Structures are given as C-alpha cells and as structure tokens.
Chain A
Amino acid sequence: MVTHTQLDPLTLSERVRRHVVTMVYEAQSGHIGGSLSATDIMSVLYTRIMRVDPQRPDWPDRDRFILSKGHCTPVQYATLAEMGYIPVEELRTFRKKGTRLQGHSVLGKPPGVENSAGALGMGLSFGLGIALGRDFRGQDFHVYVLMGDGEQNEGQVWEAAMAVANYNLDRIVAIIDRNHIQNDDFTANQMAIDPIDEKYRAFGWTVRSGIDGHDLRAVEEALTWARDHRGGPACVVFETVKGKGVSIFENNPGFHGAAPNADQYALAMRELGAEG
C-alpha cells in the first residue's frame, strides 16, 4: 500500500492554481480556464483518492489517471510536479522548445502521464482498454477518466460509455468537469448536452451530479463514493466554474485558450495569494 502525500488538497490546489497561471503566462499560450475548473478535482484525486507513488510511476498496480480533455495539461503537469513526479522548476519549460511538457498530453511525458490526448473524446475508450486488461490480469486498481463538458459532444465518448456499461465494469470512474464553457462559447450556445447525468444513467452508469467541484469536502465525498462503488461504472458530474479563482478568468469564454497579459497576470497572482 502506498501512502498518500503529506499535501492536503487545499494547499495543493492553491499551489497548482498559481503554477497554472504562471505556466500559461510564461508560455503565452495554453488553457487556463479548464485547468482552473479542474484543479480542485485533481487535488482531491491525487491527495485523497488515488493510490499512486510518484517515485514509481510504472508501478503496475497504480491507479490510472486519464486526462481525456488533453488541452488541460497545465493542471496535470502542475499537480504531478507538486506531487513529486517532476521538479517544480520544470513547469517553466511548458510549451517551450525541447520540453517534455507539450501543450497537449503525450503518453509518458513526463512519467505519470498515462495517455496521449488533445483530440477530444478518446480517454474513456483508452481507460476502458486498461480496465479490461486489468480484469483479465486479475489486478486491482482504479481508472479515473477526466473529461470536459464540451467533450461530451464527441460521439466516441458515447461509444465508450456504452461499452463500459456493456462489460459492467467497476473501478472505472468517469469524471466530468461541467464548467459550462467550451472553445468558442458557453456550452449552451454550442450544443444541447443536458441532461448529462440522465444520459449516463440511460447508458447504464450510476451517476452523482450537481456536486460543487470547488467544495473540497464535497469533491472528496463524491470521489470516495465513486471509488468505492461496485457492480458497475460510476460517473460524477462536477459543477465547476471555468477559470475558478481569478475574477477576470471566471466564467469567461475568452479565457478558454488565451494567455493573460502582464497586468492580468499580476492581478491573477494577487488574487491567488502569491507572495510579493
């Protein structure tokens, strides 16, 4: 059994938010909004839910975290760094020439990144493949797949949702970051995806929805439920705020994939409690 990090989710979230904003500012590109909406979910996953060992990223029985919304690498890299997978200083190489930290996920770069992503919709399928292999091997670990809400537009998500339920797998958890904004606009203006929870139920999943994705206790409670659920797949739909934590980013479709300027960066870091 692997001991969890000494970090508590609140501390991790605070640090990760500052990293996310700094990484995207310094790269002058990257996806702030969907990283900040998922930060608290990620922090709880890595500090309270998943069995992982940053010193042994290839440990065969580790829980798998699959980032299906592969544009949100800032929150993934920052979380991995704070967890000890990579040096925190490496975050400054994000999106720069020669880096391991590409704009979108690349399997194995750095260790701890379990899948390649960027084109949306493939993560749940990839996680299903891992879970099928796990059960054949008789191993016991969890597969957590983090998807966006705009990502639910992708047909492959529903192919995978159907197939996971077909195999009645448990210990595979679909996590949806319902931040209500996708690339071009609010999700409501792009595609009628509601009700997401009822769709997953109709596909054969057990679902918890309407959970505040920034209430760390509520996040932990929901993910603990999902982790312990047996007899079929579990899905948690978290209500989140795109750009959470920075007033000018929050609920602003302009900060899906745009970088802040110097003034915006300074304001953001003040709001995120950065020293100096």
Chain B
Amino acid sequence: MTMTAPASAATREALGPTLIRLVQQGVDIAVVDADLGKSTTAQKFRAEHPERFFELGAAEQNMMSVAAGLSTMGFTVFASTFAVFAEHAFDQLRMSIAQPNLNVKVVVSHGGVSVGEDGASAQSVEDIALFSSLLNFRVLVPADLAETVACLETAARTPGPFMIRTGRSKVSAIYPDSSHFEVGKAHQLRAGSAVTIIAIGLMVERALAAATTLASEGIEARVLNMASVRPLDTEALEAAARETGAIVVAEEHLVHSGLGAMCAQHLAMRQPVPMEFVGVPNRYGESGTSDELLEIMGLTPEGIVEATKRVLARKA
C-alpha cells in the first residue's frame, strides 16, 4: 500500500488542546473521564483546568450519567473514552443523554480496527451504528487532525448530544485548517463524474489514493468526505448518485450497519444507483499492526479501486 502524504498525527490528539483553547475562548466546559485520559489526551485538559475535570475511574456507565447530570448545571460536557468502552454504556447514552437531548459530547477514540494489536475486543466496528441509532445525537467521523479540531469546536458551540470518533493511528493531513467543516455537509475533495467514492475517517486518504490510481486508468472519481454521518448530507448524496451514477462507500466499520447502509437506505428511496461497500466484512478483528488489520479487512486503496471497478461494471 502506498501512502502519498507523510503521516502527521492521530486524530485523538486533538481533544485536550482543543478543549483548553475553547475554555480560553469562554466556553463553559466540563470534562469527565473514565481512566483513559492519557490516551484520549483529556489529561492535557486536566493539567490546565483541574477544577473542570472529573475523573470517574474505569466506570463508563456512571461517567455517561454523570455527564448528563453535569450538563443540567449549564456545562458543555465532554465525555471521552475508547469507542468500545462507550458501547459499554449504551443505555446511559440512550436514556440519560439522547432522550432528554442533553448537552453532552461523547468523544470516542481508538475507533475501528486500526487500534491494532489489542485485538478484537478493543476494535470498535459497531460504534457508528450504535450512536447513529440514537435520536438527537450528531455523529461525526473526521478524517484528519484539523477536521477533528473543527468537529470538536462545532460540537462545543452547538447545543445537544454529539459523538465524535477519533483514531489511534497517525493519518495524513488532508486539510490545511479547520475552516471547511459544517455539520450536515459533505466536503468534496476531488471532482469527477464517472463514480463517487464516499469515505469517512482514515478511509478518506485511502479514497484519495484510490482516486489517483483510478485517474491513471482514465476513471475520474468524485471523492466526498462524509465526516458528518448524522445528519447525512442527503443533497450531496443525491447529487453524487444523479451526476455520477455509481457510488462506493468506504468506512472502518461493519459494512452492514454503518455509513454505507445509511447512504443506501436514502438512495433506495430517492435516487437508486449501483453501490459497493468497502468496510469491515462479516467478522471481528484480531491482533496485528494497524496497517495489517486494515489490509486483512480490505480497507485499502486497492480495495477501494476494486470495489469501484465492480460498481462501474454494473453501472448502466
């Protein structure tokens, strides 16, 4: 697998520094943590604002309901843990936060199989499905560090529940700054009319690499970064279907229940076109390096290229 841009940073690194800056800007933030603040970088916030930081130990269910209670005291509450451990508190997310529509931002790091060596139990491949099933939650999966900063800032300034998924492994910088991001808006990274590749998270740079390969073979692919999974940019989605006639969705998530499934449901109603899905197939992960796991699951530029050729073969 070839990476065109140099590795720069893991998206999880945005959390602590961004929250510190937001407090400086006057946002009334409280942070709750469940013994993973070093990894999520929430501990950086603790060092600056210990009075706004509440360690709750390795107890995610309690943490989510505490976050809900804190938010009723007027705080913009950030709760962070690993994606798999947020899943541990699903009912708390549902009843304590989503149903009463409280101002809690859940930042889940170490999303997807790229968490690597820790193996299947640590690899969240269902978190997007779980959070997307909760009404009132906005679900954001940024592609690089700058976009993660944008997601965090947007969530902090927008009332109500958010989930932001970040990653452990380093990804290339795609954006020079955080100015492009908007909730509910896809961001077009490459123009093309033969096919559209929709990607999120670390699959965005892989989609761009795939598009470069396809272009060398005369196939011009449109590339959309769909960082706002919920709400989905249905306008951009329908336009992609209408204008390019074929769609590939690439995500680091179980293929039957993530962004691809949501895109397919919408297009089935409004603008059906041939689609292919690059995601975690019907299996759990295993130990290995980040790149090895992505390779095993087919989450590579080559995987996207092959899916694109399959969908083009079905395009009328």
Contact = CB atoms under 8 A, between A and B. Distances in A.
A162 B54 CA distance: 14
B141 to A, nearest CB: 27
A106 B95 CA distance: 9
Contact of A126 (B56, B57, B68): B68
B61 A129 contact: no
Nearest to A131: B69
A156 B62 contact: yes
Which of A126, A133, A160, A163 has the most CB atoms of chain B within a 10 A radius of its CB?
Answer: A126
Contacts of B30: 132-133, 136
A173 to B, nearest CB: 15
A129 B65 contact: yes
A163 B69 contact: no
A136 B146 CA distance: 31
A118 B64 CA distance: 16
A125 B65 contact: yes
Nearest to B69: A129
Nearest to B62: A159
A107 B100 contact: yes
Contact of A136 (B51, B59, B64): B51
A167 B52 CA distance: 14
A128 interface: yes
B74 A133 contact: yes
A122 B99 CA distance: 14
A210 interface: no
A117 B99 CA distance: 10
A118 B56 contact: no
Contacts of A136: 30, 51-52, 73
Interface residues of A, number: 31
A114 interface: yes
Nearest to A104: B95
Nearest to B91: A119
A162 B57 contact: yes
B296 interface: no
B92 A156 contact: yes
Given A116-B100, A155-B61, A163-B62, A129 B92 contact: no
A108 interface: yes
Interface in B174-191: none
Given A108-B100, A163-B57, A128 B52 contact: no
A57 to B, nearest CB: 13
Contact of B96 (A122, A132, A163): A122
A125 B99 contact: no
A190 interface: no
A134 B91 CA distance: 25
The interface residues of chain B, by DSSP majority, are classed as helix
A130 B102 CA distance: 13
B70 interface: yes
A129 B72 contact: yes
A129 B99 contact: no
A106 B52 CA distance: 28
Interface in B40-88: 51-52, 54, 56-57, 59, 61-62, 64-75
Given A117-B95, A166-B57, A129 B74 contact: no
A97 interface: no
A114 B73 CA distance: 11
Interface string A46-60: 000000000000000
A127 interface: yes
Contact of A106 (B32, B62, B96, B100): B100
A111 B197 CA distance: 48
B95 A119 contact: yes
A127 B100 contact: no
Which of B57, B62, B70, B92 has the most CB atoms of chain A within a 10 A radius of its CB?
Answer: B62
Interface in A133-183: 133-134, 136-137, 155-156, 159-160, 162-163, 166-167
Contact of B72 (A114, A119, A121, A167): A114
Contacts of A132: 30, 54, 66, 69-70
Contacts of B96: 115-116, 122, 125-126
A85 to B, nearest CB: 17
Q: Which 10 A-B pairs have the closest CB atoms?
A: A129-B69, A133-B73, A125-B65, A159-B62, A159-B59, A107-B100, A129-B66, A129-B70, A126-B69, A130-B69
29 contacts: A107-B72, A107-B99, A114-B72, A115-B69, A115-B96, A117-B95, A122-B61, A122-B96, A125-B61, A125-B62, A125-B65, A128-B62, A128-B65, A129-B71, A130-B70, A130-B72, A132-B66, A132-B69, A133-B30, A134-B73, A136-B30, A137-B73, A156-B65, A156-B92, A160-B66, A162-B57, A163-B56, A163-B59, A163-B66
Given A129-B66, A132-B66, A159-B59, 7 more contacts: A119-B95, A122-B65, A125-B62, A129-B70, A130-B73, A133-B30, A156-B61
Interface of A: 106-108, 114-119, 121-122, 125-134, 136-137, 155-156, 159-160, 162-163, 166-167
